[in-house]
Amino acid sequence: MDRIPVLRMGSLLLITIQVDMHDKLALQLQDDVTQRISDWGSTGVLIDISSLEIVDSFIGRMLANIAAMSRVLGAETVVVGMQPAVAITLVELGMSLPGVRTALSVEAGMELLYGASFGLQSGSENERAEA
């Protein structure tokens, strides 16, 4: 496997990382994601890392980079399903990934992205205010 598939789902990009990341794979992914966003005009990127069990500072930075690059191209990034051990490792490495949005599950991540792109979230807040 020499690249991680980037799936298109409407206006979103769906990336599931199911293998141990190595540096070349990570760089390839950065290329692919930026290329796809500009090709398809995606407004959201969802990265599922629930099967990722080992991270190092490079992978952490890669996640932050993808988020930053996507934002430059006009897409929001959500990282979903991070394992507790991975989260602890990243914090101990001093990487809090500012600017990356996170969610517990793919479902929650989708909600976040659709809310962000279609204004559903603000709509529900209005309703709540009225109620």
Footprint on this chain of another protein (rule: CB under 8 A): 79-84, 86-88, 90-92, 96-97, 102-105, 108-109, 120, 123-125, 127-128, 131
- Contact yes or no for 100/67 (Cβ under 8 A): yes
Question: Rounded to the nearest whole angstrom, what is the least distance from the CB of residue 63 to another protein in the complex?
Answer: 10
3-state DSSP of the chain: CCCCCEEEECCEEEEECCCCCCHHHHHHHHHHHHHHHHHHCCCEEEEECCCCCCCCHHHHHHHHHHHHHHHHCCCEEEEECCCHHHHHHHHHCCCCCCCCEEECCHHHHHHHHHHHHHCHHHHHHHHHHHC
Question: Cβ closer to another protein: 39 or 94?
Answer: 94
Question: Rounded to the nearest whole angstrom, what is the least distance from the CB of residue 80 to another protein in the complex?
Answer: 6
Question: Cβ closer to another protein: 12 or 90?
Answer: 90
Question: Cβ closer to another protein: 36 or 66?
Answer: 66
Question: Cβ closer to another protein: 33 or 48?
Answer: 48
Question: Rounded to the nearest whole angstrom, what is the least distance from the CB of residue 38 to another protein in the complex?
Answer: 27
- Contact yes or no for 80/48 (Cβ under 8 A): yes
Question: Rounded to the nearest whole angstrom, what is the least distance from the CB of residue 76 to another protein in the complex?
Answer: 14
Question: Cβ closer to another protein: 37 or 86?
Answer: 86
Question: Rounded to the nearest whole angstrom, what is the least distance from the CB of residue 20 to another protein in the complex?
Answer: 19
